[in-house]
Structure 1
Amino acid sequence: MEFLMEYAGFLAKTVTLVAAILVLLVAFASVRGRGRGKGSGQLNVVHLNDFYKTLHQRLEQAVLDKDLLKQQRKVEAKAAKLAKKQGLAAKPRLFVLDFDGDIKASATDSLRHEITALLSMATAADEVVLRLESGGGMVHSYGLASSQLARVRQAGIPLTVCVDKVAASGGYMMACIGNRIISAPFAILGSIGVVAQLPNVHRLLKKHEIDFEVLTAGEYKRTLTVFGENTDKGREKFQEDLEITHELFKGFVARYRPQLNIDEIATGEVWLGLAAQGKLLVDDLQTSDEYLAERAKSAELYQLHYAEKKSLQERVGLAASLTLDRLILSWWSRLYQQRFW
């Protein structure tokens, strides 16, 4: 028993010490982070041609015998030396961006800096490829993301948008800006519509004799509320606002893709890539891997990614959030046995 008491005391001291160190680390990181605003990130650039070349060489090492591999390397070295000696014209550049959109289009924070960087040196002879994945989200958030892509079009630089999985609603608002949209055969596209929904618990509050006051200045400052009593007039105004937003959405898509029959496809429906091509929502059916591997034969490919430096608190919070997301996804998958098709 005495041993257990001593061990418990030692354990308590250890835990206290570790907790104190963690508190000091967090406080130190907080002090360092003060005054550090946005723009403290870093632009990472990867030469994708080297990536594809490494894949090819690794396969050759595994498949070819040593003599044949040695001969192949000599041929490649001789060709590279001859090209350098002849001073062949530089290949056009292709800048690759990635956008994985959540409901708030949070990736816009990185996208804006990536576009600013490439516009500082890209020309009309180059190309920008956006690998896009998003099911849409908030109107104003995706409006800003789309405006960032419009900067590329306005600069006269060809923009190609590749969709491997989904570009719907706000995601398609971004995709339509591309001079060319390439989709995987079973990617989801469309959903040119607007939706808003909210619960109302006014009757429940009323049943339990709970008052909830909503005070406004301005006739339509509040139309529908969660706790207050909603009126037909409020619903009509809310619906009117949705219709206005939808018309703006339709006009935006029609501006960049005039070949669409906008009234036919702006119904909120979605189509898989094969059907979307028939509706002129996409131009070609191809995966982004296939397109980039082919373009690497004639262009220099550079993948850009701007990453903000995160504080200790942000890194801890992000790790906790990712862990929670994985747990929720695992639970959801088991509940529905992954029958999403």
Structure 2
Amino acid sequence: MEFLADYGMFLAKAVTIVVAFAIVLALIVSSKQRGRGSDKGHIEVTKLNDTYDEYSDIIKAEVLDSAAIKLEQKLKKKKEKLLQKDKKREQKNADSKAIEEAANTPKRLFVLNFDGDIKASANGSLREEITAILGVATERDEVVVKLESGGGMVHSYGLAASQLTRITERNIPLTVCVDKVAASGGYMMACVADKIVAAPFAVLGSIGVVAQLPNFHRLLKKNDIDYEMFTAGEYKRTVTMFGENTEKGREKFTDDLEQTHVLFKAFVGEHRPAVDVDKVATGEIWYGSKALEMQLIDHIQTSDGYLWSQYPDTDIFAVEFTHKKSLPERLGIAAESSVDRLFSRWITRMQPKRWF
């Protein structure tokens, strides 16, 4: 027993030393990478055709008999031989070779994901992904954005919509797919697209502007606490959380909201001219099927269904900008995610639910 106790202590010390050494080494490497600027991140590209092919092969191996599999492989080889013959025939004409290759290049479809929070934090990644795509995409290609957002800050989502405009300005077809929600700022982004595809029960619309804040003035006054704010300019601050809000300040703040709403409606009207903006810009939301009637979207389909409809005639690439994170950041994100999950779970329980 004494030997086992000594051995356990030795093992614990050894593990502690190894772990401490690994952490120090990771911090040193992370520091060097930060110094070289490599912590910004990088673009990752995944060809989804390969994933679809793999899924199909797995299912076929289970459901088809050996004779059917052999026949399919034989037909596949025959098709490949015919393609090779076509390529050899095309190479005979050296002068038109480049033109023929360009004409026979399959359409490329680039898939982006935008999961928006209140600050549209994914804006940075979206910018890098679009910049990378614009370096290679042509008018024959297409960009698909899988968008999920309930909206947020006006300026943040205005910037996100402007990023998507970079695609349409190059005459590259842009499709936005909404599986769950594209409301308020999320719909501002979606309406930039040439085509909006939404699932039957996706939430769309909420074309309106909202602002709210608590006011603690009476609480401070009750406890004999003074709050002083100094401004230069009549409307530098219209309403405040701690000072006494005036009717004039409230009217000015409401007027600012109305002006923002006017800009929002004009933006939707510019990009979706078929929509009766005055009818839909009430702040209401519509589910996919009703949104189609209101011409807020163009087609009812899930994002998976849309991508599958392009396969296998189109080369489909998922493009993602991945941020490089240091060890402290990764540890912090893990802890933050745990807290967020716990907080979100309790918020969900407390919210009223709609059943159908």
Per the TM alignment, residue 112 of structure 1 is displaced from its structure 2 partner at its CA by: 0.7
Match 1:200 to one of 184, 202, 215: 215
What amino acid is aligned across from residue 78 of structure 2 in structure 1? K
- Which residue does the alignment assign to 1:97? 112
Among 323, 339, 354, the residue aligned to 1:308:
323
Q: From the superposition, tell whether residues 247 and 78 of structure 1 become closer, same or farther in structure 2 (CA, over 3 Å).
A: same
User: Cα deviation per residue 1:314-338 (whole Å; 9 max; x = unaligned)?
Assistant: 2111111111122223334455697
324 and 183 in structure 1: CA distance in 2 versus 1, 3 angstrom threshold: same
The equivalent of 1:64 in structure 2 is 64
Return the offset for 1:26: 7.1
How many Å separate the matches in 2 of 1:65 and 1:15?
A: 53
Cα 1:39–1:140 change in 2 (3 A) is: farther
Task: Report the counterpart of residue 331 of structure 1 in structure 2.
Answer: 346
Gaps of 5+ in 1: 1-5
Aligned letter for 1:223? T
Partner SS, residue 278 of structure 2: helix
Q: 1:128 aligns with which of 143, 155, 176?
A: 143
C-alpha displacement of 1:10: 9.0
Which residue of 249, 268, 291 corresponds with 1:276? 291
1:201/1:238 Cα in 2 relative to 1: closer, same or farther (>3 Å)?
same
Secondary structure (helix, strand or coil) at the match of 2:40 reads coil
* Aligned partner letter, 1:199: P
1:19 shift after superposition: 8.9
Structure 1 CA distance, aligned partners of 2:45 and 2:225?
58
Q: In structure 1, what residue type is equivalent to 2:117?
A: D
* 8 Å CA contact retained: 2:206, 2:284: yes
- For normalisation by structure 1, the TM-score amounts to 0.91
Q: Secondary structure at the match of 1:297?
A: coil
Alignment partner, residue 51 of structure 2: 51
Task: Describe how 1:77-88 pairs up with structure 2 within 5 A.
Answer: 77-87=77-87
Would the alpha carbon gap of residues 336 and 207 (structure 1) be closer, same or farther in structure 2, given more than 3 Å must change? closer
In structure 2, list runs of 5 or more residues that go unmatched.
1-5, 88-100
**Does the CA contact (< 8 Å) of 1:26 and 1:313 recur in 2?**
no
- Output aligned runs, 1:98-247, within 5 Å: 98-247=113-262
Distance, in Å, in 1 between the alignment partners of 2:65 and 2:19 is 58
**Residue 194 to residue 26, structure 1, CA distance change in 2 (3 Å):** farther
Give the Cα–Cα distance (whole angstroms) in 1 for the partners of residues 352 and 212 of structure 2.
28
Deviation at 1:91, TM superposition (A): 1.2
Structure 2 distance, partners of 1:315, 1:123, is 37
Q: Is the 8 A contact 1:29 1:311 kept in 2?
A: no
* Structure 2 counterpart SS, 1:157: coil
Contact 2:27 2:327 in 1 (8 A): no
Deviation of 1:283 after TM superposition, in Å, equals: 0.6
What is the letter of the counterpart of residue 256 of structure 2?
D
Q: Give 2:150's aligned amino acid.
A: G
The DSSP-based 3-state class of the residue aligned with 2:214 is coil
Q: Which residue in 2 is equivalent to 1:40?
A: 40
Distance 2:305 2:348 in 1: 30
Segment of structure 1 superposing worse, 78-87 or 266-275: 78-87
Output the CA distance in 2 between the equivalents of 1:224 and 1:262. Answer: 30
What does the per-residue CA deviation read over 1:265-316, in whole Å, with 9 as the maximum and x for residues that have no partner? 0111100001000100001101111111011132111110011111112211
Instruction: Report the CA distance shift for 1:236/1:21 in structure 2 as closer, same or farther (over 3 A).
Output: farther
Aligned pairs, number: 339
Aligned partners of 2:255 and 2:38: how far apart in 1?
A: 38
Percent identity over the alignment is 55
> How many Å apart are 1:186 and its aligned residue?
0.4
1:164-208 deviation digits (Å, cap 9, x = unpaired): 110000000000001011110100000010101000000000001
Deviation per CA, 1:21-59: give whole Å up to 9, x if none: 587457536633544558731111111111111111111
Give SS of 2:113's match: strand
Cα distance in structure 2, aligned partners of 1:244 and 1:270? 21
Change (3 A) 1:33 1:197: farther
